[in-house]
Amino acid sequence: MDRKQTNNDLLTVKGLTKYFETRAGFLEKPTLVRAVDGVDLKVGHKDVLGLVGESGCGKSTMGRSILRLIEPTDGEIIFDSEDVMKADSRKLRSLKRRMQIIFQDPFSSLNPRKRVIDTVGEPLIIHEIAKRRDLRDRVVSILEKVGLSSDSLYRYPHEFSGGQRQRIGIARALAVEPVFIVADEPLSALDVSIQAQIINLLQDLQRSLGISFLFISHDLKVVRYFSERVAVMYLGIIVETGLTEDIFTNPKHPYTEALLSAIPIPDPSTKRKRIILPGDVPNPSQIPSGCRFHPRCPYRFDPCDKFRPKTTDIKGGHLVECHLRG
């Protein structure tokens, strides 16, 4: 499948940046945390882009910035040929009928004092999709899509298990019939057996409703299963992006290599090279010079700590930012 880089893309993000200012004390100098530091992304129609990276690399911040749930510091977000960054509050509301988000923690993502019908029905009321009297039927049909029965309508979130709660969260996002969903680690708070159910549910929905996903995860196996393309994030930037198969079989960035080598393999007799990265992810308020991966990179050489590498196209949209490939 070749990626046509046309304006056919559903979502185009250019140079997205989010800096947080933190102040240690009243008179201290504020320090700048560069959570997302100039990210380019494209998500096509009916496309699934997996976004992987360690915790704290800015994945969630980016997902939320795209929906302007966090106000980005800078950058350009074009969704369905509309400029999200310049949208006023009315425009933004109508955009939110088309782009939605699913959260990580199904325990904090549902209002504990609202029944399922209120939670799932709220978007219908906000966007005046359904009248109060046919709200119930609408909610029932949405719940069916995510595999919940109408018995759950008048129950509260605490009466459900984690997997069921996540289904409710998905139902809420589906209520407005979006074309694009940011799934912010939707599986990582769930048991493994439930994870499989939810990922299958997402895949079914993606196929039957043609929804595009930005699928944020640190579980590479799930990303490989679900995504068509993958972007690897490290310290606020994307270091490698490409088709899922290319990334997984032929990683070009040393960081991607290291990440992939950390995937557990079910067969213990399989021999493999396990790359252990020294040190921790640097603090995003003190980003290393040059290539930001250089302090931990096993292959670093002369230019790495001096210049930031350019993005190189290996083949057909497989982009990598590394001096080794430049």
Residue numbers at the binding site for other proteins (CB under 8 A): 64, 67, 69, 92-94, 96-97, 100-101, 103-105, 108-114, 122-123, 126-127, 169, 172, 176
Tokens of 78: 């074009």
Show Cβ contacts of residue 119 under 8 Å, excluding neighbours closer than 6 positions.
110, 111, 157, 168, 172
Nearer CB in complex with other proteins: 130/314: 130
The residue whose two tokens read 């250089």 is 294
For residue 87, the minimal CB distance to other proteins (Å) is 11
Look up residue 139 and give its two tokens: 């909610």
Residue 243 has phi, psi (to 5 degrees) of -65, 145
Smallest separation, CB 33 to other proteins (Å):
16
CB of 156 to other proteins, least distance (A): 10
112 or 266: whose CB is closer to other proteins?
112
Residue nearer to other proteins on the CB measure, 126 or 265: 126
Q: Shortest distance, CB of residue 112 to other proteins, whole angstroms?
A: 7
Name the residue nearer to other proteins (CB basis): 93 or 306. Answer: 93
What minimum distance in Å lies between the beta carbon of 133 and other proteins? 20
The least CB distance from residue 115 to other proteins, in Å, is: 12
d(CA 256, CA 272): 15
Give the span between the Cα atoms of 145 and 142, in whole angstroms: 5
In the numeric block, the tokens 């199904």 are attached to 106
Candidates 303, 298, 296, 306; CA nearest to 323 is 303
Cβ(101)–Cβ(178) below 8 Å:
no
Instruction: List the one residue out of 35, 48, 277, 323 whose CA is nearest residue 182.
Output: 48
Q: Name the minimum Å distance from CB 69 to other proteins.
A: 6
The 3-state DSSP class for residue 227 equals coil
Nearer to other proteins, 109 or 217 (CB): 109
Toward other proteins, which CB reaches closer, 19 or 225?
19
- Separation CA 320–CA 252 (nearest Å): 7
> In the structure encoding, which two tokens stand for residue 242, read together?
């490409």
CB 222 within 8 A of CB 192: no
Q: Which is nearer to other proteins, 93 or 131 (CB)?
A: 93
